Amino acid sequence: MHLDAILRVAAKIILPFILVFGLYVQFHSDFGPGGGFQAGLILAAAVFLHAIIFGLARTMRIVPPNVVEIMVPLGVLVFAGVGVAAMMMGANYLDYSSLADDQVHGQEWGVFLVEAGVLITVSGTMIAIFYAVAGRQRR
């Protein structure tokens, strides 16, 4: 069908911009709205779009389900690991100021790592839910 070609070309053009925008939302969260949750949803939406346009099987080859299953606990581990690292340095749980020699840099690194953990968990969870729902057979 000729409309399929239009959708595929349009998706190939727009998908990189969606991914870059997701990364922008992640890394710009220090200066404005955004963060790991929003960026995780945007990156997961890019995977959804790819699956809708190119098919679930092709998307699962690009983002395998076993990688998605690892992403969910990995993000939680990163998040919790930042708190444990702070505690091991003699500070309170998630007290980022102890993560570097300078208090400001410690705060920056702490927020960055926590937001990265949230991004990994949220995108992994949303993709896992999408795979579970989209992979069901009709009766």
Q: What is the pLDDT of residues 61-107, one digit of tens each?
A: 999 999 999 999 999 999 999 999 989 988 888 888 888 888 888 88
pLDDT at 50 over 70: yes
User: Torsion angle, CA of 42/44/49/51, rounded to 10 degrees?
Assistant: 170
Q: Where are the domains of the chain?
A: 2-134
State which amino acid sits at residue 58.
R
